[in-house]
Amino acid sequence: MESYLAAAVQMTSTADLESNLHQARELVGIAARRGAQLISLPENFAFLGPEAQKLAEAPRIAELSEKFLREAAREWKITLLGGGYPTPAEGTTKCYNTALLVGPNGEDLGRYQKLHLFDVNLPDGNTYRESDSVVPGQQLQVVHTEKLGALGLSVCYDLRFPELYRALSERGADLLLVPSAFTAFTGKDHWRVLLRARAIENTCYILAAAQTGEHYARRQTYGHALIVDPWGNVLADAGDTPGMAIAEIDPKRLAQVRRQLPVLQHRKL
């Protein structure tokens, strides 16, 4: 593993697939020109609109999303995460919420399907039922790379389940990717503290891309894409407008924190 720059992209995606991919391409290009070698797009980067429309267009969204990810990674010679986006679940009328990690040659490095689905009734009056349209995944995914370290994949609501991240760290993860579309209501109280906690308890870097602003109907997201170091320090915050958080991932810092606080070696359960 070498020291490198990573970027967590922040978008305001809508139900317009082509517009979203255009926005993603521009932001990925900016991050790459700034020197980022690992770039993450947020959950729903390609489509954030009504569930019925998402299901109807899932095959096309998946096809164009994956084509875009492979072409952009190859064009900029970067490692690029796009997640999640809908991919049809064979034998059902639903889809998976998929995150795809693509390498600098346009090759697929890892594919993760979101395990935990967002089925909640929030105090602000909004109700979310992700399971109405999405099938949960079954497998963990840690992608081991020579230059970027071991990358543990997750998506948004997974953040509330610390056992997932402990399992990823047990499999050697150095950096945890959390592409998200956190709601504005929950984000203001939970987003930052949960990301810092996952970093601290697993002594890992966190790369958390985000959605921000108003998308459709009453759907609003919190923003604040973050990069967090293994001590829990926030290295970069994208604020509440489209853009990115960009910061250095330093293996020496990772080793230092793990040497000073060897919590992963002290576990009893």
Catalytic residue among 43, 54, 66, 204: 43
Closest CA to 178 of 162, 189, 46: 162
> What would the mean pLDDT of 138-143 be, rounded to a whole number?
97
265 contact partners, CB below 8 Å, separation of at least 6: none
pLDDT value, residue 232? 98
Q: How confident is the model at residue 121 (pLDDT cuts 50, 70, 90)?
A: confident
pLDDT, tens only, 236-247: 999 999 999 999
How far apart CA 184 and CA 21 sit, in angstroms, is 23
Average pLDDT over residues 12-31: 97
Q: Which sequence spans correspond to the domains of the chain?
A: 4-265
Known catalytic residue: 90?
Answer: no
Distance of CA 116 to the CA centre of its chain: 14
Q: What pLDDT is stored for residue 216 in this prediction?
A: 87
Active-site choice (54, 66, 95, 114): 114
Give yes or no: 95 in active site.
no
Q: How far apart are CA 45 and CA 124, in angstroms?
A: 24
- pLDDT band at 17; cut points 50, 70, 90: very high
156 is catalytic: yes
Mean predicted confidence (pLDDT) in 218-244: 96
Helix (H, G, I), strand (E, B) or coil at 224: coil
175 near 3, Cβ under 8 Å?
A: no
Report d(CA 56, CA 61) in Å as an integer. 10
pLDDT given at position 217: 79
From 54, 66, 156, 204, the catalytic residue: 156
Kindly report the average pLDDT of the chain as a whole number.
96
Fold for 4-265, please state it: Nitrilase/N-carbamoyl-D-aminoacid amidohydrolase (3.60.110)
Mean pLDDT for the stretch of residues 104-133: 91
- pTM comes to 0.96
Amino acid at 86: P
Non-local (6+) Cβ contacts of 259 within 8 A are none
Task: Say what the pLDDT of residue 125 is.
Answer: 73
Instruction: Please state, in angstroms and rounded to a whole number, the distance separating the CA atoms of residues 30 and 192.
Output: 25
Q: What is the DSSP string of 136-173?
A: ------EEEETTTEEEEE--GGGGG-HHHHHHHHHTT-
